[in-house]
Copies of this chain bind each other. A is one copy, B any other.
Amino acid sequence: MLNKNVFLEKYFLMTRSEENYLKTIFHLGGGDSKSITTNAIAEQMETKPSSVTDMAKKLSEKGLVDYVRYQGISLTDAGVKTALSIIRKHRLWEVFLVEKLDFTWDEVHEVAEQLEHIKSEKLIDKIDELLDFPKYDPHGDPIPTKDGKFQERDEKLLSEMPINSKGICVGVKDSSVPFLKFLDKNKIALGNTITIMDKEDFDHSLRIRMEGKEMRISHQIASNLYVKKND
The answer on a CB contact under 8 Å between B101 and A111 is: no
Which residues of chain B are near A114, meaning CB under 8 Å? 118-120
A115 interfacial contact with B, CB 8 Å:
yes
Query: Taking the complex as formed, is A126 at the interface, i.e. its CB lies under 8 A from any CB of chain B?
Result: yes
- A126, B101: Cβ atoms under 8 Å? yes
> How far in angstroms is the closest Cβ of chain B from A93?
10
Residue A13 CB within 8 A of the other chain: no
- Contact assessment for A118 and B122 in the assembled complex, using a CB-CB cutoff below 8 Å: no
Q: A182 at the A/B interface (Cβ < 8 Å)?
A: no
- Tell me the residues in window 90-126 of chain A with beta carbons closer than 8 Å to chain B beta carbons: 97, 100-103, 107, 110-111, 114-115, 118-120, 122-123, 126
- A120 (CB) vs chain B CBs: closest residue: B111
Residues of chain B lying within 8 A (CB to CB) of residue A122: 103, 107, 111
A127 engages B101 (CB within 8 Å): yes
Question: Which residues of chain B come closer than 8 Å to A107, judged between CB atoms?
Answer: 122
Complex: chain B residue closest to A102, CB-CB: B126
- B-facing mask of A129-150, CB < 8 A → 1, else 0? 0100000000000000000000
- B118, A101: Cβ atoms under 8 Å? no
For A127, the closest partner residue in chain B by CB is: B101
Which chain B residues border A111 with CB–CB below 8 Å? 118, 120, 122-123
Question: Is the beta-carbon distance between A130 and B101 smaller than 8 angstroms?
Answer: yes
- Kindly provide the distance from the CB of A23 to the nearest chain B CB, expressed in whole angstroms: 18
The 6 nearest A-B residue pairs measured at CB:
A101-B126, A111-B120, A114-B118, A111-B123, A115-B118, A100-B130
14 contacts between A and B (CB under 8 A): A97-B123, A100-B130, A101-B123, A101-B126, A101-B130, A103-B126, A110-B120, A111-B118, A111-B120, A111-B122, A111-B123, A114-B118, A114-B119, A114-B120
**A97-B123, A111-B120, A114-B120 known; 4 other A-B pairs, CB under 8 Å?**
A102-B126, A111-B123, A114-B118, A115-B118
